[in-house]
C-alpha cells in the first residue's frame, strides 16, 4: 500500500507539473478497479464503460484538488459515485424504477470475453463460476442502492470502513450497518432463487 | 452480549473491523451461540461470492480513449491549489481539506521500571490529562532539573509553554499535586490523584494570551470535578505515571520516543476512527492515566495545526475532493485536542503494532510520523517543521509565541503536549529552525509510519520494561 500510494503521488505530481501522459499511470493502476466498481453498481457494461471514462476524465480535471496523503482510489471513487448516482437518477426517471437489475443487460459482464477465463479452472468449473457470478450480480441488482454500494466497495473493492466512509460521506457506523444489511439482503435474494445453494450460508 | 448486539458486530468481525475489545466479547458470545456462528458463516459466504465476481477486463481501447480525451482537454495540467506544492503542502493541504484532521501522536518512552506496577485498565477523566500534563510540567519546572537534556521530550514543549504562564502559575498546580498522596513513593512533587482537575479550556490559550488567570483561580478550576470527565474514576495511575516520569528525569535517563501523527480523513467517521484508535490503546494499556478533551488546542502542535487548518482551508477548494457526496471537502473548524496517556508493557507493543497495522484506516491516516529516539530531537524537529510549515510567515508568529522556558527536565516527556495555557511568552523568542529534510520527507510520503514508528520504539525498548505511550489527537468534532 505504501509503494502504491507513492506511485500514485509521483504520477500525480508529474501530471500537475504538466505531463499529461503521466496520467496513464493512474489509468493503468485504477482504471480497471473503478470500472469494476461502477459496473457492479450500475449493472450495465456499456454504461459502466462510459461512466468509468468520464470519471477518469473528471479526475484529471480535478487533480489539483486531490489531497495528497489520501488514497487516490477513494478520491476517484467519490468522483465515480457522482456519475453512478446520476445514472441511477436517470434510470429512475426513465424507467420509473430504482434501476435495472444487475445482469439484466445481455452484454453484462458474463458476456463474451468478460472474464479472463484462460488461466482459471476447467471449462466446467468455469461455467459454474460464471453461473454463480451471474446469479450474484442479478441478486445484487435488486439490493437497495446504498446497501449495494457498501457491499461492492467492501467486498469487491476491499475498501476499509473508513475508506468507504470517506468516499460516501456516511459515518463508519452507518457503513457497517449498510454492509450488514446489504449482505443480508443479498443473501435473501440468493436464497429466494436458489435455496439449496446458499442454505446455511456455506 | 446478546444476538441483537452481535448482529452488526459479526459484520465487522468478518471484515476485520471490530476493535479488539469488542472482538473478544463477540467471540465469547459466538462460542456459545450456534445461531450467531451460523450468521457469521453465512455472511462470510455471501461476501466471498461477491468477491468472486471479480473485475472484468477493461474494454478494448478504454485506456487510449481516456488518454485521448485528456490530450484533447484545453487546459494544461490542472493547477494545484496554492500551497500544494510547498514542501509540506501536501500534507497540510490534506489536513486542512479534511473535515477532521485528526492527528495522533504516539509517543514512547521506556521507563525501564523494574518493579512494574499494577494495574488496571482504567480510563481517567477526559479533562484530567491536560492538567496532569500541566502539573507534571509544573512540577518539573519547580524542581531543579537533574539533567535538562535528559527526558526532555515532547512535553518539554509543554514545559516551555507552561513556562509562559509564569512561576505563580506553575507553582499552583504543583502545589496542589503535592497535597495528594501518590500511589507509590516518588520523587518530589507527586501529582494529585483523587480529585482530578478539569482541563478547563484556558480562555487565553487560543488567543495566546499569556495569562491563564490568577493562580488561585486556576487551581480552583483544576480541582473542580470535570464536567466532561470520563465515567471512569480518575485513577491513581496519573500521579504514579507522572511520578515515574519524574523519577526518570531525576535519574537523567533518556527515553526513546516515537511520535506518530495520524490524520483521519475528513468525515463524521473521523471521530469514530479516532475513538477506535484510542480504544485500541486503552485496550492494551495497563492503565490509562489521563484523557483530555479540550475545547481549544493549547499544545504546541495543536496551535500550529489549528492555524494551519484555518489558513489552508481557504486554499483548498472543496470541489473535486472526496466527492460531492463525501465526507471531505468542507472547511475545517478549529480542531479539538485530546490527549490520552497510557502505559503498556513493552511486550504488548507488538500487539499494539499488529492492531494498528490491521486497521487500514489507521494506516491510511498515518501520514506523518516524526521519529526521534531522542525525545528532544523529536520534539524539536516536530515543532520546527510544524511551525515552519504553518506559513511562510511562521517565523514571525513563532517568534511571538515560542518562549524558552527554564530548562525543564519535563517529566520525561510524560506529557507531550497538554500544556494548557500557552501564551505568548515573556521569554525570548526562539527562531524557528527549519525542519530536517528527513522530517519533510516523512511527512510528504509517510506511508506506513505507524508500524515503522512502533517498530522503532520497540527496537529501543527492553521487552521486559514498560513503555510510556501517549496518544495525541488533533481533530475537530465530527460534523455529525
Tens-place pLDDT, residues B327-370: 222 222 323 333 343 444 444 455 555 555 555 555 444 333 33
* Interface A-B: count of C-beta contacts within 8 A: 294
Contacts of A171 in chain B (CB under 8 A): 267-269, 272, 478, 480
Please report whether residue B171 resides in a domain: yes
Q: Are residues B31 and B173 in the same domain?
A: no
Tens-place pLDDT, residues B295-329: 333 333 344 434 434 433 333 333 333 322 222 22
Q: What is the predicted ipTM?
A: 0.82
Q: Please state, in angstroms and rounded to a whole number, the distance separating the CA atoms of residues B9 and B4.
A: 9
Determine the average pLDDT of the residues in B103-130.
26
B268–A152: do the CB atoms touch at under 8 Å? no
Please report whether residue B167 resides in a domain: yes
Q: Are residues B121 and B72 in the same domain?
A: no
Is B198 or B268 the better-scoring residue by pLDDT?
Answer: B268
Q: Which of A114, A167, A171 is closest, CB to CB, to B268?
A: A171
Q: Are residues B398 and B291 in the same domain?
A: yes
Between positions 29 and 48 of A, the ones with CB within 8 A of B are 31-33, 35-36, 39-40, 45
- The whole model's pTM is what? 0.42
Q: Residue B155's pLDDT is what?
A: 31
Q: Which residue shows C-alpha cell 509517543?
A: B107
Please report whether residue A62 resides in a domain: yes
Please report whether residue A116 resides in a domain: no
* pLDDT tops 60 at residue B6: yes
Please report whether residue B27 resides in a domain: yes
* Least confident among B7-16, B122-131, B194-203, B273-282: B122-131
Residue A173: which CATH number? 1.10.1740.10
Q: Residue A155's pLDDT is what?
A: 93
* pLDDT tops 80 at residue A201: no
Report the residue of chain A nearest B87, measured CA to CA.
A68
DSSP at B208: T
Residue-number span of the structural domain to which B139 is assigned: 89-475
Band of the pLDDT at A37, cuts 50, 70, 90?
very high
Q: Are residues B16 and B151 in the same domain?
A: no
The H or E element containing residue B469 is strand B466-475
Q: Are residues B29 and B120 in the same domain?
A: no
B320–A66: do the CB atoms touch at under 8 Å? yes
Q: Are residues B30 and B135 in the same domain?
A: no
A171–B272: do the CB atoms touch at under 8 Å? yes
The tally of domains found in chain A comes to: 1
Mean per-residue pLDDT of chain A = 79
Please report whether residue A164 resides in a domain: yes
| CB atoms inside a 10 Å sphere around CB B480 | 10
* pLDDT tops 70 at residue B381: no
Q: Which of A23, A171, A200 is closest, CB to CB, to B269?
A: A171
Q: Are residues B295 and B410 in the same domain?
A: yes
* pLDDT tops 60 at residue A159: yes
Is A3 or B476 the better-scoring residue by pLDDT?
Answer: A3
Please report whether residue B227 resides in a domain: yes
Q: Are residues B426 and B368 in the same domain?
A: yes
Q: Are residues B144 and B277 in the same domain?
A: yes
Q: Which of B22, B50, B76 represents a domain boundary (last residue)?
A: B76
Please report whether residue A115 resides in a domain: no
DSSP string for residues in chain A: -HHHHHHHHHHHHHHHTT-GGGHHHHHHHHHHHHHHHHHHHH--HHHHHHHHHHHHHHHHHHGGG--TTS-HHHHHHHHHHHHHHHHHHHHHHHHSSS-PPTT-STTSTTSTT-S--TTSS-HHHHHHHHHHHHHHHHHHTTS-HHHHHHHIIIIIT---HHHHHHHHT--HHHHHHHHHHHHHHHHHHHHHH-HHHHGGG-
Answer whether B337's CB lies under 8 Å from B290's CB.
no
Q: Residue B332's pLDDT is what?
A: 29
B58–A31: do the CB atoms touch at under 8 Å? yes
* pLDDT tops 80 at residue A28: yes
A3–B364: do the CB atoms touch at under 8 Å? no
Please report whether residue B480 resides in a domain: no
Q: Residue B451's pLDDT is what?
A: 41
Contacts of B52 in chain A (CB under 8 A): 129, 132-133, 136
Q: Residue A100's pLDDT is what?
A: 43
Residue B12: which CATH number? 1.10.10
Whether A117 and chain B come into contact, CB under 8 Å, resolves to: no
Dihedral of the alpha carbons of B48, B52, B58, B63, in degrees to the nearest 10: 40
A33–B55: do the CB atoms touch at under 8 Å? yes
Tens-place pLDDT, residues B180-192: 333 333 333 333 3
Strands of B156-211 (E only): list them: none
* pLDDT tops 50 at residue B146: no
The tally of domains found in chain B comes to: 2
Q: Residue B322's pLDDT is what?
A: 31
Q: Are residues B277 and B144 in the same domain?
A: yes
Q: Are residues B48 and B135 in the same domain?
A: no
Please report whether residue B151 resides in a domain: yes
Please report whether residue A6 resides in a domain: yes
Residue-number span of the structural domain to which A53 is assigned: 2-110+121-201
Please report whether residue B82 resides in a domain: no
A201–B46: do the CB atoms touch at under 8 Å? yes
Tens-place pLDDT, residues B151-180: 222 232 233 333 333 333 333 333 333 333
Is A62 or B312 the better-scoring residue by pLDDT?
Answer: A62
Q: Are residues B98 and B124 in the same domain?
A: yes
Amino acid at each position: 500500500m505504501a509503494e502504491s500510494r507513492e506511485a500514485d503521488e509521483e504520477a500525480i505530481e508529474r501530471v500537475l507539473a504538466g505531463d499529461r501522459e503521466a496520467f496513464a499511470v493512474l489509468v493503468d493502476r485504477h482504471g480497471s478497479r473503478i470500472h469494476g466498481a461502477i459496473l457492479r453498481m450500475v449493472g450495465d457494461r456499456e454504461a459502466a464503460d462510459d461512466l468509468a471514462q468520464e470519471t477518469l476524465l473528471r479526475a484529471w480535471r480535478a487533480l489539483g484538488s486531490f489531497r495528497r496523503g489520501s488514497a487516490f482510489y477513494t478520491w476517484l471513487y467519490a468522483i465515480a459515485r457522482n456519475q453512478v448516482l446520476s445514472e441511477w437518477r436517470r434510470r429512475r426517471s426513465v424507467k420509473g424504477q430504482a434501476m435495472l437489475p444487475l445482469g439484466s443487460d445481455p452484454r453484462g459482464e458474463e458476456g463474451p470475453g468478460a472474464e479472463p477465463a484462460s488461466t482459471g479452472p476447467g471449462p466446467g468449473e468455469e461455467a459454474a463460476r460464471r453461473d454463480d457470478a451471474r446469479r450474484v450480480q442479478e441478486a445484487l441488482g435488486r439490493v437497495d442502492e446504498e446497501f449495494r454500494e457498501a457491499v461492492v466497495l467492501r467486498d469487491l473493492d476491499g475498501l476499509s470502513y473508513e475508506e468507504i466512509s470517506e468516499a460516501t460521506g456516511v459515518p463508519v457506523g452507518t457503513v457497517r450497518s449498510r454492509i450488514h444489511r446489504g449482505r443480508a439482503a443479498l443473501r435473501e435474494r440468493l436464497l429466494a432463487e436458489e435455496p439449496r445453494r446458499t442454505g446455511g450460508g456455506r | 452480549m446478546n444476538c441483537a448486539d452481535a448482529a452488526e458486530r459479526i459484520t465487522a468481525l468478518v471484515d476485520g473491523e471490530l476493535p479488539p475489545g469488542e472482538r473478544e466479547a463477540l467471540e465469547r458470545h459466538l462460542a456459545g451461540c450456534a445461531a450467531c456462528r451460523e450468521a457469521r458463516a453465512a455472511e462470510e459466504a455471501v461476501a466471498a461470492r461477491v468477491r468472486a465476481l471479480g473485475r472484468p477486463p477493461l474494454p478494448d481501447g478504454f485506456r487510449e480513449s481516456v488518454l485521448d480525451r485528456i490530450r484533447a482537454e484545453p487546459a494544461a495540467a490542472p493547477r494545484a491549489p496554492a500551497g500544494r506544492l510547498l514542501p509540506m503542502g501536501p500534507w497540510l493541504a490534506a489536513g486542512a481539506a479534511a473535515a477532521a484532521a485528526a492527528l495522533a501522536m504516539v509517543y514512547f518512552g521506556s521507563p525501564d521500571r523494574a518493579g512494574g506496577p499494577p494495574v488496571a485498565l482504567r480510563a481517567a477523566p477526559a479533562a484530567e490529562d491536560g492538567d496532569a500534563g500541566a502539573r507534571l510540567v509544573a512540577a518539573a519546572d519547580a524542581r531543579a532539573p537533574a539533567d535538562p537534556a535528559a527526558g526532555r521530550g515532547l512535553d518539554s514543549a509543554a514545559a516551555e509553554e507552561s513556562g509562559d504562564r509564569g512561576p505563580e502559575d506553575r507553582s499552583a498546580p504543583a502545589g496542589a499535586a503535592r497535597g495528594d498522596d501518590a500511589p507509590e513513593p516518588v520523587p518530589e512533587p507527586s501529582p494529585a490523584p483523587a480529585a482530578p482537575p478539569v482541563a478547563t479550556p484556558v480562555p487565553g490559550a487560543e488567543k495566546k494570551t499569556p495569562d491563564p488567570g490568577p493562580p488561585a483561580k486556576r487551581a480552583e478550576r483544576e480541582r473542580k470535578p470535570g464536567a466532561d470527565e470520563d465515567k471512569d474514576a480518575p485513577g491513581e495511575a496519573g500521579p504514579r505515571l507522572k511520578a515515574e516520569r519524574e523519577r526518570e528525569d531525576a535519574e537523567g535517563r533518556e527515553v526513546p520516543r516515537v511520535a506518530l501523527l495520524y490524520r483521519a480523513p475528513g468525515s463524521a467517521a473521523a471521530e469514530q476512527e479516532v475513538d477506535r484508535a484510542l480504544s485500541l490503546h486503552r485496550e492494551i494499556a495497563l492503565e490509562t492515566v489521563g484523557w483530555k478533551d479540550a475545547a481549544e488546542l493549547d499544545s504546541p502542535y495543536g496551535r500550529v495545526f489549528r492555524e494551519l487548518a484555518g489558513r489552508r482551508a481557504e486554499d483548498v477548494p472543496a470541489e473535486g475532493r472526496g466527492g460531492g457526496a463525501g465526507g471531505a471537502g468542507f472547511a475545517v473548524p478549529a480542531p479539538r485536542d485530546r490527549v490520552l496517556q497510557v502505559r503498556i508493557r513493552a511486550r504488548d507493543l507488538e500487539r499494539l503494532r499488529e492492531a494498528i497495522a490491521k486497521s487500514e484506516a489507521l494506516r491510511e491516516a498515518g501520514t506523518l510520523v516524526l521519529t526521534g529516539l531522542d525525545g528532544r530531537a523529536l520534539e524539536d524537529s516536530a515543532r520546527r517543521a510544524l511551525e515552519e510549515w504553518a506559513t511562510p510567515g511562521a517565523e514571525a508568529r513563532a517568534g511571538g509565541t515560542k518562549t524558552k522556558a527554564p530548562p525543564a527536565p519535563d517529566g520525561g516527556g510524560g506529557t507531550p503536549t497538554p500544556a494548557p495555557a500557552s501564551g505568548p511568552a515573556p521569554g525570548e523568542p526562539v527562531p524557528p529552525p527549519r525542519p530536517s529534510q528527513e522530517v519533510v520527507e516523512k511527512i510528504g510520503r509517510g506511508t506506513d509510519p505507524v508500524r515503522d514508528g512502533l517498530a522503532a520504539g520497540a527496537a529501543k525498548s527492553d521487552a521486559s520494561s514498560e513503555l510510556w505511550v501517549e496518544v495525541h489527537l488533533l481533530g475537530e468534532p465530527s460534523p455529525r
